[in-house]
Structure 1
């Protein structure tokens, strides 16, 4: 008696996932076994190719396999013919089981009943009603992750923060992975919704799963369970993700290094400004300078204005204070052109907002959404530049498109903060070394000049 080899709860269609079966074959190779007694062909394997390959290999070593139910001995002359026929039936039975399971899942999806892995879901567990129920300690970590990303932190920075503050993963580990964090911040279940059939199995034999990019229908259910993250914060994070990819592609900026990177642009040439540390009279001085002027030694950008970071922070804060308190510009014939531009800008922002909601519901492929976002933002910024030109031409200090509506819980600022830029600033144009125009995400624009 060499032993009993079994794989409980494991499909017989995939050999590499069957530890007991693989151990059995190793013992056969080692010469520990002369005869295998098996209940039936379907218990041995449900994959015809694997079954015949294994049996022939064992047969070459003079090891017999006896199937009790079918009364077949593989060393007998008629064994392989019968096994081929019966194993094909076993494989077809697996196909039918797979189709039945697939049909059952789709029926549940159509009724709005998602299937969820409750054991490995950060922030939730299975409630008494069978639905997701928040776990307060884990939910607090999830909220922390969304907050950090919203205010400008990268996945790597969030990882470091969580590890430094000894936050544990859903598996109880102290080491976090940026890829896990990225999946979390894009998971619609944190707003109480559920998108079903994101992936599907292409082959019942290999069990290979692929992303569903429209091959099969998707099902979206709102208010399926209690939310951990507000929709305002969640969609703010989704827009942040797209914007960071946009800056990397369009402006080639490292958006996660400093809050102003990718948002502070040269009015003369359109290049992004770079943060530079220099020594003046032995003292460390931090300034911002046109990236094109630095890289091309002034051959492309004619101005190359240098702006003190301290002054820049002060005036961005002052611009924010003006925008926050000011009322929208009243309708007047003299500002007809400005109002038309502002409305077009608003339309592009609404189109992006609509696309973000559609993406959460499964209507967009990632690359297509990125291309659409880039087109809309390019058009938006072109209009914004026209509005900025009119602001300077008319020598006015502000254009307030709409009343400021802060994100709940993100407005009690008393001075400049980097997160303020991430949350509310779309773009800043450096006009001269002591003049900027700040474009806010609500379409408002404030011009600031200083002489200190």
Structure 2
């Protein structure tokens, strides 16, 4: 397509976000600011934009495109609020530790982070780590072994901790003061008491 062997991350991200791949078109993404010089600017609200569905044949299905958008938002830790607006959490996608992408504080919405304390591996709310207990008073510290055992029993159900099974079934795990809520991708939920 471009003749390049290596693709820039930004280029790939722009492609993944481009609605044209699912057969739609957003018109007036840019506009000509000065007709004499031909200078164009990104339209960030200066002009009306128009979204046209099914304007041309799709390369990927709308379902696949929407799943990619959902995964990218999850990795950016964008949070949808009840009023429909979106806010960005301070925590980012964790490529190193699998559980870091699942464990979310039920009190403040931050991700949980992996720590080693007194020779034990534990998970703790990022807000509590960065700003102290006063900033997130109801977030418990979880032992990694307990988390893995609970997921083995309640999600894997085969006696073996399997991140592949968990990744396919679980959307997120909300951590509250006295229990955890496993939120499945199919919409179901399971409460696990400590």
Q: TM-score, normalised by structure 1?
A: 0.33
Distance 1:420 1:214, change over 3 A: farther
Residue of structure 2 in register with 1:261 after alignment = 100
Query: Match for 1:277 among 106, 110, 116?
Result: 116
Alpha-carbon distance between aligned partners in 1 of 2:165 and 2:125, rounded to the nearest angstrom = 20
Residue of structure 2 in register with 1:368 after alignment = none
CA-CA distance at 1:289 after TM superposition: 2.0
Q: How does 1:201-220 map to 2 (within 5 A)?
A: 201-212=32-43, 213=45, 215-216=47-48, 218=50, 220=52
Q: How does 1:170-185 map to 2 (within 5 A)?
A: 170-185=1-16
The SS at the match of 2:10 is: helix
Residue of structure 2 in register with 1:437 after alignment = 181
Residue of structure 2 in register with 1:415 after alignment = 162
* Conservation of the 8 A alpha-carbon contact between 1:254 and 1:261: no
Q: How does 1:397-408 map to 2 (within 5 A)?
A: none
Q: How does 1:50-449 map to 2 (within 5 A)?
A: 170-212=1-43, 213=45, 215-216=47-48, 218=50, 220-222=52-54, 224-225=56-57, 227-243=58-74, 244-246=76-78, 250-257=88-95, 258-261=97-100, 263-267=102-106, 272-278=111-117, 280=119, 285-295=120-130, 298-299=133-134, 305-316=140-151, 318-320=153-155, 415-417=162-164, 420=167, 424-432=170-178, 435-449=179-193
Gap regions ≥5 residues in structure 1: 1-169, 323-413
Alpha-carbon distance between aligned partners in 2 of 1:430 and 1:278, rounded to the nearest angstrom = 21
The SS at the match of 2:100 is: coil
* Conservation of the 8 A alpha-carbon contact between 2:32 and 2:40: yes
The SS at the match of 1:202 is: strand
Gap regions ≥5 residues in structure 2: 80-85
Alpha-carbon distance between aligned partners in 2 of 1:196 and 1:269, rounded to the nearest angstrom = 38
Alpha-carbon distance between aligned partners in 1 of 2:22 and 2:183, rounded to the nearest angstrom = 29
Distance 1:318 1:216, change over 3 A: same
* Conservation of the 8 A alpha-carbon contact between 1:277 and 1:287: yes
CA-CA distance at 1:222 after TM superposition: 0.6
* Conservation of the 8 A alpha-carbon contact between 1:253 and 1:262: no
* Conservation of the 8 A alpha-carbon contact between 2:106 and 2:139: no
CA-CA distance at 1:250 after TM superposition: 4.8
The SS at the match of 1:172 is: coil
Q: Over residues 81-137 of structure 1, what are the superposed CA-to-partner deviations in whole Å (9 max), with x where a residue is unaligned?
A: xxxxxxxxxxxxxxxxxxxxxxxxxxxxxxxxxxxxxxxxxxxxxxxxxxxxxxxxx
Q: TM-score, normalised by structure 2?
A: 0.67
* Conservation of the 8 A alpha-carbon contact between 2:24 and 2:56: yes
When you count helix as a share of all residues, which structure comes out higher?
A: 1
CA-CA distance at 1:267 after TM superposition: 4.9
* Conservation of the 8 A alpha-carbon contact between 2:77 and 2:91: no
